[in-house]
Chains A and B, each alone.
Chain A
Amino acid sequence: GAVVSQHPSRVICKSGTSVKIECRSLDFQATTMFWYRQFPKKSLMLMATSNEGSKATYEQGVEKDKFLINHASLTLSTLTVTSAHPEDSSFYICSAHERGLNTEAFFGQGTRLTVV
């Protein structure tokens, strides 16, 4: 199947700093990628839809200035958590579809962010 690579897999940062997470589609082009957040024992919550060459679409309640998304190429989307605080600690995961939304979603390995 298609491969989506996410980096880093784990990061610990200090409060007030920013963290960038990368999501790459390795063997296909993805005009759209999705960013999710998952709390322990909870499901994936869609944060935003990343669109290549245009602004991301954010879900209700997600601060766009807090979670900056850039999708500058057909194979790379980045999520930057700005001025991170302990409550931003979570599992962040991206996904992309090789053949459209009605087909399988391929997920990155996820990034476990801990803000201290």
Chain B
Amino acid sequence: RKEVEQDPGPFNVPEGATVAFNCTYSNSASQSFFWYRQDCRKEPKLLMSVYSSGNEDGRFTAQLNRASQYISLLIRDSKLSDSATYLCVVNSPGKLIFGQGTELSVKP
């Protein structure tokens, strides 16, 4: 079993849609959690950290369920510029483990 698993993609959605990404992790000792965004042939960039209480940044909402070892990312009112690969990242103590990524394509 992979340490971090994400929904397989790609997700193809129209502009304005709401889309949800899911992620599970296997190491219960994991300490911190993130969503990164990676554009084609570019380096990953932090989208948001994920906290137990849940956190929101504009159209983006991230949630963490430690008991279920589950992380989610919700994107509301999708924009064309949201098209990218979204990486679930877990700090498995001492190193970051990346999920395989979920590709999102937002169409006009």
Contacts and interface: CB of A to CB of B under 8 A. Distances in A.
Interface of A: 34, 36, 42-46, 49, 91, 93, 95, 101-102, 104-105, 107-110, 112
Contacts of B49: 104
Contacts of A110: 41-43
Contacts of B89: 105
B1 to A, nearest CB: 15
A101 B95 CA distance: 7
A36 B32 CA distance: 19
B99 to A, nearest CB: 6
A107 B45 contact: yes
A110 B45 CA distance: 12
Contact of A102 (B44, B46, B91, B101): B91
B96 interface: yes
Contact of B96 (A42, A46, A108, A112): A46
B91 A107 contact: no
Given A108-B43, A109-B43, A44 B91 contact: no
Contacts of A36: 98
B100 to A, nearest CB: 4
Given A43-B100, A107-B44, A110-B41, 13 more contacts: A34-B96, A42-B101, A43-B98, A44-B44, A46-B95, A95-B96, A101-B91, A102-B31, A104-B46, A105-B46, A107-B45, A108-B43, A110-B43
